[in-house]
Amino acid sequence: MLNFTLTWIAILLDNGSKQKSLWGINFYPDIEDSGFIEFDSMINMRPSQGNKSRGVEDRGIYSKIIEIVNKRIER
């Protein structure tokens, strides 16, 4: 799974995405509520951006990710 993730990160970066805007999340489609999004990824550990865990600590970024997912993922 790590190789798959790193491949997509490389593709996104090669196509103009900025590292500071890439966050790792997982989807669990069998879970009904908002818990189907898991914010747990090694790429989220960024002390230079104030994020010291595998989650997304900034509530603004966290909310923006949920907003984007809800627009893009049909449930």
How much is the pTM? Answer: 0.81
Give CA–CA dist 71/75, Å, rounded.
Answer: 10
Number of separate domains in the chain: 1
Q: How many residues does the chain have?
A: 75
For the chain, percent of residues with pLDDT exceeding 70: 93
Q: Which domain holds residue 57?
A: 2-72
pLDDT class for 35, splitting at 50, 70, 90?
Answer: confident
In the predicted structure, residue 1 carries a pLDDT above the cut 70: no
Residue 55 has pLDDT above 90, yes or no: yes
At residue 33, the pLDDT reads 80
Helix (H, G, I), strand (E, B) or coil at 21: helix
Distances (CA, A) of 1 to 32, 39, 57, 62, 63: 24, 16, 23, 23, 26
